[in-house]
Chain A
Amino acid sequence: MNCDDSKLICKEKSMNAKMSAGEINTKNRKDAYHFLKIFTPMLIVLAVVLWIFYQRDVTSIRVSTGLDNQQVIQLAKQSIIDEESMLHGDALYLAGHSSLHRWLDTGSNIARSALAHDMLNFVRQREIYDQVRFIDKNGLEIVRINWNKGQPEIVSANKLQNKANRYYVRDSLSLAKGEIYISPFDLNVENKKIEQPIKPMIRLATPVFDHAGHKRGIIILNYLGQHMLDRLRQLRKQNRGELWLLNSDGYWLLGPNTDEEWGFMYPSRKLNRFNLKYENAWKAIQSGGKTSQLIQQNGLFTYSKLNTDKIAKSIVQHNWILVSFLSKEKLNTMLSSTRKNLLVVFMTLGLMLYIISNIASYYALRRKDSETRVRENEVRYRGLLNSAPDAIVTMDQNGLITLVNSQTEKYFGYNRKELIGKPIEVLVPQRFHEAHHHKRENYVTAPYLRPMNVEHELFGLRKDGSEFPAEISLSPLQTDEGLLVTSIIRDITSRKQAELARRMVETRYQELITNLPVGVYRNTPGVNGHFLEVNPAMVTIFEADSIEQLLEHSVSELYCDPDERKKFSDKLMQQGYVKSEEVHLKTLKGHIFFAAITAVMKQSKDEGAYFSGIIEDVTERKISELEIIELNKSLQNRSVELEAINQELESFSYSVSHDLRAPLRAIDGFSQMLVSNYSDQLDDKGKDRLNRVRAGAQRMGMLIDDLIKLSRLSRTEILRESVDMTQIAKNVLEELHDGESQRKVEAIVQPDLVDQADSRFVRVIMDNLLGNAWKFTRQNDNARIEAGAKDGDKGMIYFVRDNGAGFDMEYASKLFGAFQRLHDSSEFPGTGIGLATVQRAINKHGGSIWAESKVGEGTTFYFTLKQGVA
């Protein structure tokens, strides 16, 4: 594993570590799925294979068991046959024995004794006979040998019996020479009781003929059946199943256990019969062949039917049946080990499969993962390709297009299908075709990675025939299918435009710098600093002949005082900038001037620190500033004077109000005294003149009051607040009415007029306007005074309307001048200051006032309380 791989794995691990529980679950499920996908079929195959094995095993066990059983049956049968043929042989042998014939010939006791001894030997030798007897044709026992439980003895003559009436004696005596009587296989009965321990017994008998051919008696052999049964038992031991011997009635002679044997001998065992217990098997045996095998529900039966006549001429048909039985349970027991083995095999192989599956699924998953990754990479790559801002075109070594991305379609106006397989030249303007072709061929022979922007300008040709400037990079890729060249094509139209725009900006900027009337420069810091760059205005400012000339001079030379340059430079270095710093400079020709410098300190890699700034000749401005300072000073003086004048004016008006009234009061007062105290010394004319003096004095008092009001108004600053215009108008009208309650005047005031104004001034305005209206309607019986407002452009236009005397609009211009009156004072008394005061009050608000009137019909005054209204 190389370094990159290990890194990759580390990365994967860390990625795994970062996986959330949900992801882990998904992954586990996926793993399990893959594992099961491999494991399950393998397990099934294994199971099937083992099942087949099992079945084959079962079959082979069955077959082998069957064969075993058959063999056992065969062996048993053979054994029985052998035994019987031996018995036959023995019977015939004894029947033809010389001792017997001697006795038959002589009938002497010696011969009989010899016979008895020979027979005794025989019994002793054979060990299978319980009794061997010779009975004469009269049924009299001549010789009888008893086995006597292993101690054979010759039964003494006095104990010999006559057995003439026994069925077997009778039956045997009727046999021909060589014929053998075989009794049924049963238990020996002594004194009508079954001898215990039981003694299975078969009796064989054969007739005895003398030389002359006369039948002289019978030889009877009592065969100890146990002997045969023991042999069968011996066989049974070797057999995996049961080995039974049945008689023709279905009773067990050799059975599953001794209790069930010999059922026909015991009344209590009558029902212990094979044919009752295994009815179906019995039936099948009865109807089947001589030897066969049956598979029954309860097991495997193998049987063979034995017929004694096969062996010898016999008068009893035994029809024994040898049955070998392998019970299902036994069979299963036999199979169970196979099953156990197979199970172990299954488990072992299953485990192996499990491991193999795990490994396989792990590798499969890994492969799948890597495939997925490859696929994802491909998708990503495609996405990248298509989301790339540039057109990407791949062509083969023949210049045929093999791949394009979406941007290519957009750039060139073709769709993908139109381009694939076409020569790359379809995207190149006609005039470059030849050169392009040539270059391409050269390129293919020696491909190299060509970055963008290394060659002169290139152009792309769109489907519609238009062209666009492009930058093209080429990268070769050797593949199995030959050289692939990927070219990335960038539409640089907008960049070209941007470049153009930038160049224009630069040009404009340069022009601006060149044409600026202020000096623009760059220089190096310090006392020995020199210019790096200056604009033409600098040449003018410093009265140089050329830019080059100016660049030759050190900056300090241009300062009146080189120390000032040092200070300036230090300050700029310290602060990084200066703003409108004023310095004393001199031109190359020695003219001194004031300059304002605004500059910043900059750092450049090539030149180190430098100053960049603008210089302005501010001499004129400086002079103007000085002038302004002078002007301000004089203005200040003036305003002090004005203040004094104002003060004077104030005290003047105070004096007027206070001191001018006193003499008037004196004039009026003393005139009155004259009139009242000295009336007898005055004629009417004198009294009239005195009254005129008084009237004049009083009028002057009013004039003074009004003038003071006017002047006071002029001196007062207005203070805007929310003013209830309606309420003020109503108050004024009420007061007017109170003063002349006998008059009937219809007064209408528009409600809810509220404005921002100085209430004191509004009061003065209303006093005068409504006072005028009141005054000028005095001669009208249906006097009507109306105060209200209407919306103007920027605020309310108030009006006060009356239906009084009115005036000639010709004199409207004189209306608001102080002391101007349009009516006779005898008719409508007044000072002529009221409207002037009103105008002053309105002007103070920035508003205006005007009037409309018609003689005899009335007057309307309009006014506003804001600038620009109306």
Chain B
Amino acid sequence: MNDKVILLVEDNPDDELLTLDALETNNISNEVIIARNGVEALDYLFGTGEYEGRDPSDFPAVVLLDIKLPKIDGLEVLRRIRENEQTRLMPVVILTSSNEEEDRLRAYGLGANSYVRKPVDFDVFIKTAGQMGLYWILLNEAPPK
């Protein structure tokens, strides 16, 4: 396990808790930064606002990005990440309740690395979170800086 952080962009506190629990259940102990809306997420990633001074080139291991978000929605966040020269190679996984075709299409169109649907069944959710954590934290090699 490395010490990379995971950025979880999730407005629903229940989901946030469930996600954190699922990661914990799977023994993924990396620090999880929570952003409760798009603006927060972008501030963190670009080192602006609340996160003034943070090095934007210090990528999280993965960004778990919900689509439906207050202020700036997930897909817009994704678009800005990919627009920005510093963050464009950042691994971004869409983690959402939606399985609308249109959402999937737009997400991939904007350069999402994965699209994962949050299952209702918590057992399945735990499994999903575990596999995701394992993959992005352990298996995946981050892009070179």
Q: Is the CB of A592 closer than 8 A to any CB of chain B?
A: no
Judge whether A659 and B122 touch: CB under 8 Å: no
Q: Is the CB of B99 closer than 8 A to any CB of chain A?
A: yes
The interface residues of chain A lying within 8 Å CB-to-CB of B15 are 662, 665-666
Judge whether B120 and A701 touch: CB under 8 Å: yes
Judge whether A665 and B68 touch: CB under 8 Å: no
Q: Which of the 9-residue segments A150-158, A246-254, A668-676, A845-853 touches chain B?
A: A668-676
Q: Is the CB of A654 closer than 8 A to any CB of chain B?
A: yes
Judge whether B122 and A669 touch: CB under 8 Å: yes
Q: Is the CB of B76 closer than 8 A to any CB of chain A?
A: no
The interface residues of chain B lying within 8 Å CB-to-CB of A694 are 121-122
Residue in B18, B98, B123 whose beta carbon sits within 8 Å of that of A654 in the complex? B98
Judge whether B68 and A669 touch: CB under 8 Å: no
Q: From DSSP, what is the main secondary structure of chain B's interface residues?
A: loop
The interface residues of chain B lying within 8 Å CB-to-CB of A672 are 122-123
Judge whether A665 and B98 touch: CB under 8 Å: no
Q: Is the CB of A664 closer than 8 A to any CB of chain B?
A: yes
The interface residues of chain A lying within 8 Å CB-to-CB of B122 are 665, 668-669, 671-673, 694
Residue in A658, A698, A712 whose beta carbon sits within 8 Å of that of B96 in the complex? A658
Q: Mark A685-722, 1 if CB is under 8 A from B, else 0.
A: 00000000010011011100100000010000000000
CA distance A588 to B17 in the complex (A): 90
Smallest distance from the beta carbon of A659 to chain B beta carbons, Å? 7
Q: Mark B122-138, 1 if CB is under 8 A from A, else 0.
A: 11010000000000000
Q: Is the CB of A239 closer than 8 A to any CB of chain B?
A: no
Judge whether B97 and A657 touch: CB under 8 Å: yes
Residue in B14, B97, B125 whose beta carbon sits within 8 Å of that of A658 in the complex? B97
Residue in B67, B99, B100, B125 whose beta carbon sits within 8 Å of that of A665 in the complex? B125
Q: Is the CB of B83 closer than 8 A to any CB of chain A?
A: no
| Those of B1-51 within 8 Å (CB) of chain A | 12, 14-15, 17-18, 21
Judge whether B120 and A664 touch: CB under 8 Å: yes
Smallest distance from the beta carbon of B68 to chain A beta carbons, Å? 5
Closest to B25 in A: A676
Smallest distance from the beta carbon of B36 to chain A beta carbons, Å? 14
Judge whether A697 and B98 touch: CB under 8 Å: no
Q: Is the CB of A868 closer than 8 A to any CB of chain B?
A: no
CA distance A662 to B12 in the complex (A): 8
| Those of B92-143 within 8 Å (CB) of chain A | 96-100, 118-123, 125
The interface residues of chain B lying within 8 Å CB-to-CB of A668 are 120-122
Judge whether A666 and B14 touch: CB under 8 Å: yes
Judge whether B68 and A666 touch: CB under 8 Å: no
The interface residues of chain A lying within 8 Å CB-to-CB of B125 are 665, 669
Judge whether A697 and B96 touch: CB under 8 Å: no
CA distance A666 to B68 in the complex (A): 17
Q: Is the CB of A856 closer than 8 A to any CB of chain B?
A: no
The interface residues of chain B lying within 8 Å CB-to-CB of A701 are 119-121
Judge whether A659 and B14 touch: CB under 8 Å: no
Judge whether A665 and B123 touch: CB under 8 Å: no
Closest to B11 in A: A662
CA distance A702 to B99 in the complex (A): 13
Q: Is the CB of A663 closer than 8 A to any CB of chain B?
A: yes
Q: Is the CB of A661 closer than 8 A to any CB of chain B?
A: yes
The interface residues of chain B lying within 8 Å CB-to-CB of A700 are 120
Judge whether B18 and A665 touch: CB under 8 Å: yes
Q: Mark A640-681, 1 if CB is under 8 A from B, else 0.
A: 000000000000001001110111111011111100000000
Interface size class of A (residues with CB under 8 A): 20 to 34
If the complex has contacts A672-B122, A672-B123, A698-B120, are A665 and B14 also in contact, measured as CB distance less than 8 A? yes
Smallest distance from the beta carbon of B22 to chain A beta carbons, Å? 8
CA distance A664 to B121 in the complex (A): 9
Residue in A665, A671, A673, A702 whose beta carbon sits within 8 Å of that of B118 in the complex? A665
Smallest distance from the beta carbon of A807 to chain B beta carbons, Å? 29
If the complex has contacts A658-B68, A659-B68, A673-B21, are A665 and B96 also in contact, measured as CB distance less than 8 A? no
CA distance A665 to B12 in the complex (A): 11
Q: Mark A59-85, 1 if CB is under 8 A from B, else 0.
A: 000000000000000000000000000
If the complex has contacts A658-B68, A698-B120, are A666 and B98 also in contact, measured as CB distance less than 8 A? no
Smallest distance from the beta carbon of B23 to chain A beta carbons, Å? 13
CA distance A665 to B129 in the complex (A): 14
The interface residues of chain A lying within 8 Å CB-to-CB of B100 are 654, 657, 712
CA distance A705 to B125 in the complex (A): 16
CA distance A673 to B125 in the complex (A): 12
Smallest distance from the beta carbon of B128 to chain A beta carbons, Å? 11
Judge whether A666 and B18 touch: CB under 8 Å: yes
Closest to A705 in B: B99
Smallest distance from the beta carbon of B21 to chain A beta carbons, Å? 7
Judge whether B96 and A663 touch: CB under 8 Å: no
Of the candidates A658, A663, A698, the one having the most CB atoms from chain B within 10 angstroms of its own CB is A658
The interface residues of chain A lying within 8 Å CB-to-CB of B17 are 669
Judge whether A661 and B121 touch: CB under 8 Å: no
Smallest distance from the beta carbon of A844 to chain B beta carbons, Å? 17
Smallest distance from the beta carbon of B65 to chain A beta carbons, Å? 14
Smallest distance from the beta carbon of A703 to chain B beta carbons, Å? 10
Judge whether A661 and B118 touch: CB under 8 Å: yes
The interface residues of chain B lying within 8 Å CB-to-CB of A670 are 14, 18
Residue in B14, B67, B97 whose beta carbon sits within 8 Å of that of A669 in the complex? B14
Q: Mark A390-424, 1 if CB is under 8 A from B, else 0.
A: 00000000000000000000000000000000000
If the complex has contacts A669-B18, A669-B21, A672-B123, are A662 and B98 also in contact, measured as CB distance less than 8 A? no
The interface residues of chain A lying within 8 Å CB-to-CB of B120 are 661, 664-665, 668, 697-698, 700-702
Closest to B18 in A: A669
Of the candidates B67, B96, B100, B125, the one having the most CB atoms from chain A within 10 angstroms of its own CB is B100
CA distance A670 to B100 in the complex (A): 26
CA distance A664 to B119 in the complex (A): 10
Closest to A704 in B: B120
Closest to B13 in A: A666
The interface residues of chain A lying within 8 Å CB-to-CB of B123 are 672
Residue in A654, A662, A671, A705 whose beta carbon sits within 8 Å of that of B14 in the complex? A662
| Those of A552-567 within 8 Å (CB) of chain B | none
Closest to A664 in B: B120
Smallest distance from the beta carbon of A667 to chain B beta carbons, Å? 9
Closest to B15 in A: A662
Judge whether A698 and B121 touch: CB under 8 Å: yes
Closest to B121 in A: A698
Smallest distance from the beta carbon of B40 to chain A beta carbons, Å? 19
Judge whether A657 and B18 touch: CB under 8 Å: no
The interface residues of chain B lying within 8 Å CB-to-CB of A665 are 14-15, 18, 97, 118-120, 122, 125
CA distance A407 to B29 in the complex (A): 122
Smallest distance from the beta carbon of B126 to chain A beta carbons, Å? 8
Closest to B120 in A: A701
If the complex has contacts A694-B122, A698-B120, are A662 and B97 also in contact, measured as CB distance less than 8 A? yes
Judge whether B14 and A661 touch: CB under 8 Å: no
CA distance A292 to B68 in the complex (A): 172
Smallest distance from the beta carbon of A672 to chain B beta carbons, Å? 4
Smallest distance from the beta carbon of A696 to chain B beta carbons, Å? 11
Smallest distance from the beta carbon of B67 to chain A beta carbons, Å? 8
CA distance A199 to B100 in the complex (A): 176
CA distance A380 to B23 in the complex (A): 119
The interface residues of chain B lying within 8 Å CB-to-CB of A657 are 97-100
CA distance A345 to B120 in the complex (A): 147
CA distance A654 to B100 in the complex (A): 8
Judge whether B98 and A658 touch: CB under 8 Å: yes
Q: A658-B98, A661-B97, A666-B12 are in contact. List 14 more A-B contacts (CB 8 A).
A: A654-B100, A658-B68, A659-B97, A662-B97, A663-B14, A665-B14, A666-B14, A666-B15, A666-B18, A669-B14, A669-B122, A672-B123, A673-B122, A701-B121
Using CB atoms and an 8 Å cutoff, list the residues of chain A in contact with chain B: 654, 657-659, 661-666, 668-673, 694, 697-698, 700-702, 705, 712
Interchain Cβ contacts under 8 Å between A and B, 6 examples: A654-B100, A658-B68, A668-B121, A668-B122, A673-B122, A701-B119
Q: Which 5 A-B pairs have the closest CB atoms?
A: A701-B120, A666-B14, A669-B122, A669-B18, A672-B122
Using CB atoms and an 8 Å cutoff, list the residues of chain B in contact with chain A: 12, 14-15, 17-18, 21, 67-68, 96-100, 118-123, 125
